[in-house]
Structure 1
Amino acid sequence: MGRIHVAVRETPLSCDAALAFLDDPSHGAVCTFVGRVRNTNQDKPVDGVSYDAFDALATHTLRTIAEEIQSRWGEDLDVWLEHFRGHLPVGGVSVVVAVASGHRAESFAACRHAIEEIKRRAPVWKEEHYADGDSTWIEGRALRS
């Protein structure tokens, strides 16, 4: 059975920690996705982004996505999903997705699926802060009862 690590963190996310977690000689492929704060959005200069989350539900959602990945692409896959909560400057790492599998096809497909589902389902919201001093909450995932 593969391993799963999920977290919502207020401390810097680490690709090195993800790669160490995924270190398994039976896995010939590791695919990673690292999301970073970019310096513009819709032609507006961005100074940084503040992320907020419903931590318990976000962690549950990340775990559900990881379990779905193992169910779909193989129970032996190792999956690492972390999202940042707090303020990040331009270039800061907001999300780390990493998947290890026996072969590259599964790793690529599972990694892509993970980031798309995190963006679609995780209760994480972002407020962009612009160079002109303005800020805007970017439309995110609504909580449903």
Structure 2
Amino acid sequence: MGLTDQVLPVGTAYEWCVQPQCGAVVLFSGTVRDHAADQQGNLRADVSHLTYEAYDEQVVPAFEAIEAELRHRWPTAGRIVLLHRTGRLALMESSVLAVVSAPHRPEAFEAARFAIDALKASAPIWKHEEWADGADWGTGAHAPVAPQAVPTVSSEVRT
């Protein structure tokens, strides 16, 4: 768990989460896309790159709180990976990983969804979007919230 200015180890994170007692591993990788809304709500389709900054001393405690809440909600969860890049990232580079293993797919999917939602809501990490004629901080910037305040998105089993 933590921050890095290096390429995220997607394959290694996945392999680390594979365990004999877990029949499911869900991996979410957020990647840099070529479009974003500016502060006025206009869609900009010419994003060239992103730069991520973080309050380093608070990120790991935030990730640990997310893990604790995840384990409270999904006690059978196996291994958990939360990693976020900092620095300048090009289009299509992975900026964040949330990986969760569990005995069955419903809890693995739900726990992984919670992990990324809680990370986005509670970790002090900010993105700066740059395009050909300007730059701006991401429109999703907000004050962090406690992981306990992040709702669970439940999956329905359909037959």
| TM-score for the superposition, normalised by structure 1 | 0.89
- Could you give the per-residue CA deviations for residues 65-102 of structure 1, whole angstroms, max 9, x where no partner exists? 01111111015521110011111011111100000000
Which residue pairs with 2:120 in the alignment? 119
Name the CA distance, whole Å, in 2 between partners of 1:35 and 1:73.
23
Q: How far is the alpha carbon of 1:46 from its aligned partner?
A: 0.1
- Unmatched tracts of structure 2, length 5 or more: 38-42, 146-159
Instruction: State the number of aligned residues.
Output: 138
Name the CA distance, whole Å, in 2 between partners of 1:76 and 1:89.
33
Report percent identity of matched pairs. Answer: 31
Name the CA distance, whole Å, in 2 between partners of 1:23 and 1:104.
13
Answer yes or no: is 1:27 the counterpart of 2:27: no
Which residue pairs with 2:3 in the alignment? 8
Q: CA RMSD in A?
A: 1.5
Answer yes or no: is 1:98 the counterpart of 2:99: yes
Which amino acid letter does the alignment assign opposite residue 127 of structure 2? Answer: K
- Could you give the per-residue CA deviations for residues 109-134 of structure 1, whole angstroms, max 9, x where no partner exists? 000011111111110001001022x1
Name the CA distance, whole Å, in 2 between partners of 1:73 and 1:30.
14
In terms of fraction of residues, the more strand-rich structure is 1
Q: How far is the alpha carbon of 1:143 from its aligned partner?
A: 6.5
Which residue pairs with 2:148 in the alignment? none
The answer to whether the 8 Å contact 1:125/1:141 transfers is no
Which amino acid letter does the alignment assign opposite residue 5 of structure 2? Answer: E
Q: How far is the alpha carbon of 1:59 from its aligned partner?
A: 1.3
Answer yes or no: is 1:18 the counterpart of 2:13: yes
Name the CA distance, whole Å, in 1 between partners of 2:30 and 2:23.
24
| TM-score for the superposition, normalised by structure 2 | 0.82
Q: How far is the alpha carbon of 1:15 from its aligned partner?
A: 1.0
Q: Bigger CA drift: 76-85 or 102-111?
A: 76-85
Which residue pairs with 1:3 in the alignment? none
- Unmatched tracts of structure 1, length 5 or more: 1-5
